[in-house]
Structure 1
Amino acid sequence: MTPSTISRHMVAWAQAAPMALVFLAFFLVPLALVVMVSFWDYNDYAMIPTFSGRGYTESFEGCLTRLPEACTMLKTYGQTLKFCAMVWAITLVVGFTVAYFLAFHVKSVTWQIALSLVCTIPFWTSNVIRMIAWIPLLGRNGLINKTLVGLHIVDKPIEWLLYSQFSVVLALVHLFTFFMVIPIFNSMIRIDKSLIEAAYDAGASGWQTLWTVIVPLCKPGIVIGSIFVVTIVMGDFVTIGVMGGQQIASAGKVVETHLNALQFPVAAANAVILLGVTLMIIAAMSKLVDVRKEL
């Protein structure tokens, strides 16, 4: 290697070193500690720093000897995946629609930027505040039930509007749709408008143009938005706990419960399992498109 090449490599390493150190200190090291603690033993009072797989075996205790339906942990992960799939599907439809409107129906770049900033307004407040704002609307004596009863649409308040799977999905969609809008919008504004005009000139209908031109070119944005939404929903426990009335289980809720009980090894084991499941989902999504080109 020539001196100039060595110099360029040294500059590149020097530029990458600060971020690499931050990544090492605040991600890799804590993750390694969590994995290490997940293999420790424990009792009712303390952690015991000896190698043990008890945290993993107790999490899925009985799953191998009983029917899968009787395994509480598998049912919990199944419910978490169901929430994740429902929220993903709804945020994808809503996010794609909003992004499509901004990219193709708003002609002015100024208005595109302005409306994109409007989408960020809910993020000016805490997630918790935006979440609990649904309670006065969805409650038994909330605005929606009072309106429905007052208009004689229903005879009595609807119970399942709050503290149910419906309210959990509604709150999660409200909180995280923005994470789907921006990546898709970023992909859409890069589409060459002449391709769409060519599709119309070739006789393609609006739906044909959408499915054969726009959606394939937006695939990177869809995948990135999906990764954001899936990652957040898989680990969420606050929204599910509050909007589910502390009656709905989730993988993140299991970790929180063990942490509150000071059972750190089993909490760490469940966190590692949750991370593994989430990484498998992300890996499957990443196979659909080269995300690095979009970034």
Structure 2
Amino acid sequence: MQAQLRKSLPQAAIAWFLASPLTLVLAGFLVLPIVMIVIVSFWGATEFSIYPAFLFDNYEFLLSSRVTYAVFLNTAKYALVTWAITLVLGFTVAYFLAFHVRSLTWQVALFLLCTIPFWTSNIIRMISWIPFLGRNGIANSALISMGVIDEPLEWLLFSDFSVILAFVHLYTLFMVVPIFNTMMRIDKSLIEAAYDNGATGFQTLTNVIIPLTKPGIVIGSIFVVTLVMGDFITVRFMSGSQSANVGRLISNDIALLQYPSAAATAVVLLITVLIVIGILLRFVDIRKEL
């Protein structure tokens, strides 16, 4: 039956037929919601109602406000700092698992150990830092008892430090996984050839391992940057509502029932994220990894 069907239909038609179920799912649950958000972003709103229209008022207000640029700059700061820290940590962990752990059993065991924090929800993992970093928390109590400080450090909690710390805790694994996956595909004979030709460990790292790991680095960077830029609950809790990012801006508009304004902000954020992803994809062709 399948053989007869293949003979009667051209290869292109078979390919489209096989891809149609996934295409319908993506169209219904991804493309259609985005289209609706774009449409609503042009609607008008009053204090008590929302009405369909084609207005640029939401975008005009958004792009003419200094608050918008400050919030986007703060979001970019969180994303950039978190990306840099998770890249260093993720690369280090992946390098250790791929090249220093020889046994496959131990590689799997240690990799699963990295996933233990994901057995609980993000909110629980994030809130667990509050009693640790608080004024009378474990960190301050330990530092005072050791004589390192004389009084509690106020900046440990409800600050940019605590926000970035929570982001790093939540999203480092998203950097570890693609880098580790790419490193495991590296032919070990290339590394041995580098050593045989007199290359040092650092030269092998910079000239062999890092270039071959670029696809994993780019994939991990896309994961981390997009997750941080879209997150709002972490900034709210860990900053004590003293800081904001674009996600919180959208959340506040939704809480005030200003859906057109929230939709316009979401569209601008989406465009910004797509630009960032486009820049990252200029460095490497990740289709080889998929």
TM over 0.5: yes
- Residue aligning to 1:142: 137
**Paired-residue identity, %:** 54
Corresponding residue of 1:257: 252
The count of corresponding residues between Structure 1 and Structure 2 is: 286
- Do structure 1's residue 44 and structure 2's residue 39 form an aligned pair? no
1:13-72 deviation per Cα after TM superposition (whole angstroms, max 9, x unaligned): 23211111110000100000000000011100111101111111111235xxxxxxxx22
Q: Where do 5+ consecutive residues of structure 1 fail to align?
A: 63-70
**What is the CA distance between 1:184 and its match in structure 2?**
0.2
Query: Counterpart in 1 of 2:79?
Result: 84
* Cα pair distance change 1:271/1:149, threshold 3 Å: same
- Say which SS state the counterpart of residue 44 (structure 2) adopts: strand
Measure how far apart 1:12 and its partner are. 2.3
Q: Which moved more, 1:106-115 or 1:248-257?
A: 106-115
- CA shift, 1:7, in A, is 4.7
Partner Cα distance (1:61, 1:43) in 2:
19
Distance 1:225 1:265 in 2: 32
> Deviation of residue 3 (structure 1)?
7.1
Where 2:189 maps in the other structure, the secondary structure is helix
Match of 1:198 in 2: 193
**CA–CA distance in 2 between the matches of 1:86 and 1:234?**
12
Matches of 1:130 and 1:281 in 2, distance apart? 28
Does the 8 Å contact 2:163/2:238 carry over to 1?
A: yes
Deviations 1:204-249 (A, max 9, x none): 1111100000000000000000000001001110001100101101
5 Å-filtered alignment, 1:10-49, equals 10-49=13-52
Q: Which whole-Å CA distance do the structure 2 matches of 1:21 and 1:150 have between them?
A: 61
Letter in 2 for 1:30: P
**Structure 2 contact 90–173 (Cα < 8 Å) conserved:** yes
Q: How much has 1:4 moved relative to structure 2?
A: 2.5
* The 10-residue stretch of structure 1 (152-161 or 212-221) with the greater mean CA deviation from structure 2: 152-161
Matched, 1:109 2:112: no
Match of 1:211 in 2: 206
Equivalent-residue separation in structure 2 for 1:3 and 1:59 (angstroms): 54
TM-score of the pair, normalised by structure 1: 0.94
**C-alpha distance 139-3 of structure 1, shift in aligned 2 (>3 A):** closer
What is the distance in 2 between the residues matched to 1:99 and 1:247? 35
Do the aligned partners of 2:6 and 2:14 also contact (CA within 8 Å) in 1? no
Matched, 1:268 2:271: no
The normalised TM-score by structure 2 is 0.96
- Secondary structure at 2:90 match in 1: helix
Secondary structure of 1:51 counterpart: coil
Provide the C-alpha distance between the structure 2 equivalents of 1:61 and 1:96, rounded to a whole number of angstroms.
Answer: 40
Secondary structure (helix, strand or coil) at the match of 1:156 reads coil
